[in-house]
Structure 1
Amino acid sequence: MRNAQVALLDPLGQKIATVASDDEGRFRMRSVAPGVYQLGAAAPALRSPSHRLSVRDGLPIEIELRLSPQLSESVGVATEGNNSGGSSGTTLAGEAVRRAATPLRGGALRAAVAATPGWTSEDNGLIHYRGVDDGLLFVLDGIPVYERLDAQFGVGFDPVNVRSVRVLSGYVPPQFGLRSGGVIEVRSEAGSIDSWSGILETGVGGHRGQALSGLLQGPTGRNASLTLSLGGERSRRFLDPVSLDNLHNQGSTGGGQAEFIWAPGPSVVSLRAGHARSSFDVPHDEEQEAAGQDQRQKLDQTFGTLNWQRSWSSAVVSQLALFGRFTNGRLLGSASDTPLFSQADREQDRLGLLAALAYERGRHRLKGGFEASRLRLHESFGFFVTDPDAGEGAGLSENVLEHHANDPFDFEGSVRRPIYSFYVQDSWRPADRLTVDLGLRYDRSHLLLRESQWSPRLGVSYRFGQATFRASLNRFFQPPQTEFLLLSSSPDAQELSPFADELGAGGAEIRAERQTAIEAGCELWLGAALRADITVWQRRIQNQGDPNVFLGTTIIFPNSVDRGRAKGLDVRVELPRRAGLSGFLTYTLSKIDQFGPINGGLFLEEEIIEIGPGTKFTPDHDQRHALSGQLSYENERRGLWVAVGGRYRSGTPLEVSEEGLVKLVERPGADLVDLEQQRVKPYAVFDVQAGQRLIRRKRFELSARASVLNLSDARYAFNFGNPFSGTHFGAPRGARLDLRLALR
C-alpha cells in the first residue's frame, strides 16, 4: 500500500523512526543500530501486527507487514528466526534518553543507562556495571570511543542528536574490546535525503540552569545528506558538590558537530567531525571557601571519523573506518588553595583504523575484523602544601607534607604507544529455536606494559514457547585508564603510596585488567502484555581498575587492585505500551569483593585502611541493592504524556580506618551515614514529568515539558569521606521547564 506509515519502536513502544512506503508498498530504513525493536505499519483504518525484530551485524533484513482493519492496538509477537544469541540487553529510543529525569542534559544518556539491568549510579553521573568500576565502552555509529566521557574527563552526548541506544550485556561479540566491562551502542540522528528538518530545544532549571540545543538536517544532493548540531548548557550546580552548601560549583559545557552522509547504491560513506569543551569550578568545602580557593578545570575535545560501509550482496557487508579523538584537559590552581596547591595539564591523542566483514551463509553468520590505533599521552602535574597545619588536619601523609612551595611535587611525562586487535565470530543456528555464538578476540597493548590476551566468547540461546533461555561466557582484556596513567604508574607516585612496601607488593605499575564473566538468564513473555527478564551473573577479575579521587578535586587517577570478584542478580519487568500505558521496573542485587594490594594511583591521605597482599575489602562502588522504575502514559493524538519514576540505592561503603571514622562524625552531612554499618544511608528519589504539545502546524510543532526532580526533597549522599571517591551530596528538590520546536 502506498504511503503507509512504518514505525520503528523500542520495546516499550517509544518511537525511534518512521518512513512512508512507496507506490509499490515497499519501505527502507537505514542506520538502524543493532538491538531489539518493534516494527509495525499503519494507514487510515488499517494496521499491521507489531513484529518483534532483532537487528545484528549490519546485514539487511527483509520483513513483510500485512495491513488489515483493526480497531484495537496491535499486539507484539516474536519474529521467527530472530534469536539474539546469548546477548541480552536493553534498547532505548532517543526520546527515552531525552526524557530521562536529570537536572543537566549532559547526564541524560548516563541516567537512562543507569535504569537498565546490572547498572548502578554514583556521583557526577558515574555508572558502574556488574562490579566493574571503570571500563565502559561507548560505540557511536559503529566507532568505539575509549576515552572517559563523564563530566570530569569529557563531554557526553547531547540528547538532541541521539536516535537510539543499545545497552548490551550477556554474550559480548568479540568486535567489542579494550573497554568492554559494559557496552553502550549509540546511534545518532541521520539526515534525511528527502527534505530538510530541524529541532530547537531550550530549557531552564534550578541553580540558574540553562540549556540550548539545535539540530538541522536534510539533503545536499543526490543520495547525500548533512546533519548539523550545536548545543550547550550551564549551571551553578554543575557537579555533585562536596559540601551541603553547594560551594564553588559553576560550570558550562558546549560543542557542535557535522556529519555528511553519501549513500550511492549499496555503499554508505559518512564523514563526522566535531568539537566540545567544558569549563567548571572544582567544588570545595567550607574551609576552602573561607580561604578563597578558586580551582577550575577546562577541557577541549576534538574528534573525527571517516566510515565506509558497503553491502556487497544481501549476505555480505563490510566496514572500513578511520577515527581520531584529541583531548586536552587542564586543572588550574589558585593562590588561595588550601591545604595544597595543585595544577595539571594532560593531552591525549588517539588515531585508529578498523575494518570488518560480515558474511551470512545458510545457518551461519560469520564476522571478522581488526583494529589498530596509536595513542599519544602527555602529562604534567604538580602540587605543594600551602598550610601544613590544615594539611595535617586533612590527614595528609608525612611524605606529602614534605612538599612545600620551595620543594614542590613535580611530574612530567610523554609516550606514544600502539594497541591492536583482531577477532572472528560465528553465529550459528543449528535449529530454528537454537542459536550458538562463538567468538575469539586477540588484543595486544603496549600501554604502558607490553601485554596481550586471547579472549574466547561463547553464547547460547534457546527459545521455547514464550520463553528464551540463554547463557554466556566471556573473557575480557582491558588496558588501564589512560587519563593520568603516566603519573599513576610512575616511581614518583609510588613513593607517596601507602600501599607500597619494601618488597614491591603495592604501588607498582598498573597492569591490564583481565575478566572472566559468566551469565545465565531467561526472557519470558507473560501473555502479550508483560515481558520479564531474569539474569544471574558472576565475574572474576585480575588487576581490577578502581580509580581514586585526588583530595576532593575532580581529578581521578587510575589504580588497580590485585584481584576482585562480583556476583549478582538482575531483574527487569517491562510493560510495552498498551492503551497509552507503558512502564518498567529494574532491580539489581550485587556483591563485590576485592583483594589487595593496590597498585598505581596517587594517594595523599595517611588514614587509609590497610590493604596489603591478600587483604579482602569492599570497594567504593559496592551498591548492594539498586532499584529503578517508571510508569508513563501517552496520548499521541493529543500530544500529552505523563511519567512518574524513581530510584533506590542502598548506599556505598566508607572504606576508612577506625581513626578516620572518628573524624568523619564531625563533618557536615554525617547524619546521612550509618556509622555502625560503615555505609552511606540508603536513599530513594522520585521524579514527576509531564509534556504537552502546544501548537501543531504543517511546517512546525511546539511542545513543552515540565519536570519536578526529587519530589520529596530527600537528603542523601552518594559517598562520604571515601579515599577512593571522596564526598558528594545529591541534589535537593528542583524543577525544569523545557521547550521543543520541531521544524519540517
Structure 2
Amino acid sequence: MGDLNYQLSGFHQYSELHYTPDAIGDLAYNGVASDTLRSNTANGLQFDASYKLNAAHTLRTGLAYTRQNTHSDNSVGVFDMNDDGTQASTDPRTIVDNSSKTGKLSSVYLQDEWHIGAPLTINYGVRFDKVDAFVNEQQWSPRINVAYQLAKGTALHAGYSRYFTPPPQELAAQSSIDKYAGTSNAPEVAVSDNVKSERTNYYDVGISHQFSGALTMTADAYYKKIRNMLDEGQFGQALILSPFNYDRGYAKGLELSAVYSQKDWGSFLNVTTQKAEGTNITSGQSLFGPDELAYIANHYIHVDHDQTVTISGGAHYHWGDSQISGDVLYGSGLRLTPDTDGAAPNSGHLPHYTTVNLALTHTWKATPVGAVEGRLALINAFDKVYLLRDGSGVGVGAPQYGERRSLYAGISTSF
C-alpha cells in the first residue's frame, strides 16, 4: 500500500514423540521400562509491517502470539527399592505419570533503519518478549547494528543485540520426579528446578571486501555472554531430549568466507572456529549425577555441541537449463568425556570427519503447470561412517552416527 507494507500470518503446528519399551528386557537389564508419549500443539499469529517515512528513515514493527499445549503421558514399570539401595522385590509395579501444561509467548518490536549519509546506515530498535509457562518471565531487548562503506567494495559492520530465548515446554517437572522416590527409577539427585529462559548479550563485528566482480571475501567475529544458558540432552532409559540451564556461559567464534562467481560456474569456501562453555547447572539437576554436578558447579566445561573447527566448500557448474554441484563438509569432532579416571566432563572430542555431497538440477521452463524444477541429491557420496556422539559426555545418552549414503529426489513448480 504505497510506502506501507504488511503481512499477517497464522499457523498451527503439531508434534508427537512416542517411545515404547521392551517391557521385560528393559526391566531385567535396566530396572525401568518406560512407555513415554509426548505431544505438543501450538497455534499462533504473527504481524509484521514496514513504512518508509522518508528518504532517511524506514520504520518496521511487528508482534507475535503463540499458545501451546504440551502433554506428557508416561507409564513406567519399576521395582521398589530398600533403604540400602537393594531391590525389594522381583515383582514390578507400574507408575502412571501424566501431566500437561499450557504456555503462552508474546512478542512485539519496533525498529528504525536510518540512512545517515551515503556511507553509513544504522539499524536500531527494541523488542519485548514475555513467556508464561513453567516459568513466568519477560525482557526488553535493545539492539543496534551499524554498517559503514569504507570504500568502493569494502564495508564494515558491527552490532550489539540482546536476546531472550524461552525454554521448550517438554521437561520433567518436580512433581513427576517425586513419584519415583524409593523405586529403581529414582534419580541420584532428587531435586529439579524449573528451566529458565536464556538471556544473551551478543556482539559481532565484520568486514567484507569485493576484490573483483567475481570474488568477495568476508570475515566475522562474534562473542555471546549468556545467563541461564540453555542446553538439551538425552537422559534416562527413554532417550528423549530434555532441557536444562547452565547458570553462566559464553560462545565466541570467527568465520572466514569467500564466494567466487562467474557466468556459468562458481564456488564458495567457509572456515569457522568457535568455542562454547558453561558452568553451574541450575535446573533439571535430577538428570545428572552428584559428582558431575559438583564439578560443573565450580568449573567451566565445553558444551556437548561445541566443535572447534568446521570447514565447508563447494562449486557448481551451469549449462543450459541444468546445473551440477558438489560440496565438502569437514568437522573436527563434537565433545566426549574421556574414559579415564578424573577426566573432566566433555574435555575430549571425537575424531574428525569429512563428507562429500553431490546434486543435479534441471528446469523445464515451458510446461502446462509453469516452470518445473527437478532435483537429485546424493548425500555422503562415499558412504563415510562417522560418529557425531559416542554416548559419553554431559547430556549425551546414546551414540549417534552421521547420515549414511542417501539419495533424495524432489520436484517443484512455480506459476
TM-score (norm 2): 0.83
Counterpart CA distance in 1 for 2:112 and 2:86 is 54
**Contact 1:699 1:743 (8 Å CA) reproduced:** no
Q: Check whether the contact 2:16–2:37 (CA below 8 A) recurs between aligned residues.
A: yes
Of 219, 223, 226, 1:538 maps to: 223
Structure 2 distance, partners of 1:680, 1:538, is 25
> Which of 106, 109, 121 is residue 423 of structure 1 equivalent to?
109
| DSSP 3-state at the match of 2:336 | coil
Matched residue, 2:125: 439
Aligned match of 2:336: 654
Q: Report if the CA contact (8 A) 2:45-2:65 is conserved.
A: yes
The match for 2:36 is 344
In structure 1, distance between residues paired with 2:359 and 2:233? 35
Query: What is the CA distance between 1:727 and its match in structure 2?
Result: 1.0
Quote the residue 1:65 is aligned against: none
Report the CA distance between 1:329 and its aligned residue.
Answer: 3.5
**1:344-383 alignment runs, 5 A limit:** 344-362=36-54, 363-383=56-76
Q: How does 1:451-600 map to 2 (within 5 A)?
A: 451-464=137-150, 465-482=152-169, 484-485=170-171, 487-488=172-173, 490=175, 492=177, 496=186, 498=188, 507-551=192-236, 553-576=238-261, 578-600=262-284
Q: Distance in 2 between matches of 1:497 and 1:437?
A: 49
* Unpaired runs of at least 5, structure 2: none
Quote the residue 1:682 is aligned against: 352
- 1:724 paired with 2:395, answer yes
What residue identity is the alignment partner of 1:436? I
1:679: Cα distance to partner?
A: 1.5
In 2, the alpha carbon distance for the partners of 1:528 and 1:321 equals: 39
The alpha-carbon deviation at position 572 of structure 1 amounts to: 1.7
Q: How does 1:126-141 map to 2 (within 5 A)?
A: none
Cα separation, partners in 2 of 1:601 and 1:324, compared to 1, 3 Å = farther
TM superposition shift of 1:645: 1.3
After superposition, give the CA deviation of every residue in 1:633-662 in whole Å (9 maximum; x if it has no partner): 110x2x33322211000011113674598x
Q: Give me the whole-angstrom Cα distance separating, in 2, the residues matched to 1:590 and 1:691.
A: 34
1:455-476 per-position Cα deviation (integer Å, ceiling 9, x unaligned): 1111110113101110110111
Q: What are structure 1's unaligned runs of at least 5 residues?
A: 1-310, 389-397, 662-674
Residue 593 of structure 1: how far off its partner (Å): 1.2
Counting only pairs closer than 5 Å after superposition, residues 66-215 of structure 1 correspond to structure 2 as: none
What amino acid maps onto 1:566 in structure 2?
Answer: A
What is the one-letter code of the residue matched to 1:718? L
User: Helix, strand or coil for the counterpart of 1:613?
Assistant: helix
Distance 1:652 1:517 in 2: 23
Query: Contact conserved, 1:654 with 1:679, CA < 8 A, in 2?
Result: yes
Check conservation: 2:139, 2:164, Cα contact below 8 A: yes
Q: CA separation of 1:713/1:736 partners in 2, compared to 1, >3 Å: closer, same or farther?
A: closer
Cα distance between partner residues in 2 of 1:702 and 1:400: 66
Q: Alignment length, in residue pairs?
A: 397
User: Aligned-pair RMSD on alpha carbons?
Assistant: 3.5
Q: Give the Cα separation in 2 of the matches to 1:656 and 1:407.
A: 37
* 1:318-374 Cα distance to aligned partner (Å, 9 max, x none): 334443334443323343442332112233233333334322112111122333333
TM-fit CA distance, 1:435? 0.8
**Corresponding residue for residue 384 of structure 1:** 77
Aligned to 1:29: none
Deviations 1:61-93 (A, max 9, x none): xxxxxxxxxxxxxxxxxxxxxxxxxxxxxxxxx
State which of 403, 407, 411 in structure 2 corresponds to 1:736: 407
Given residue 162 of structure 2, which amino acid in structure 1 is its aligned partner?
R
Identity, % of aligned positions: 21
Q: Secondary structure at the match of 1:348?
A: strand
**Letter of the 1:625 counterpart:** V
Alpha-carbon contact 2:336-2:347 (below 8 Å) kept = no
- For the 8 Å contact 1:423–1:440, the answer to whether it is kept is yes
Q: Is the 8 A contact 2:303 2:346 kept in 1?
A: no
Partner amino acid, structure 2, of 1:650: S
Deviation at 1:510, TM superposition (A): 1.1
Q: CA deviation at 1:550?
A: 3.0
Q: Are the structure 2 counterparts of residues 712 and 337 from structure 1 closer, same or farther at C-alpha, using a change threshold of 3 Å?
A: same
The AA in structure 2 aligned to 1:360 is K
Q: In structure 1, how many angstroms separate the alpha carbons of the residues matched to 2:86 and 2:221? A: 45
1 or 2 for the larger relative contact order (CA 8 Å, sep ≥6)?
A: 1
1:492 is paired with a residue of what secondary structure? helix
Q: Which amino acid aligns with 1:724?
A: G
- Matched position secondary structure for 2:297: coil
On the 8 A contact 2:338/2:347 being kept in 1, the answer is no
- SS at the partner of 1:558? strand
Separation in 2, partners of 1:705, 1:401 = 58
Question: Cα distance, 1:400 vs. partner?
Answer: 12
Q: 1:473 to 1:676 in 2, by over 3 A?
A: closer
Distance in 2 of aligned mates of 1:735 and 1:481: 31
User: In 1, Cα distance between the equivalents of 2:67 and 2:372?
Assistant: 46
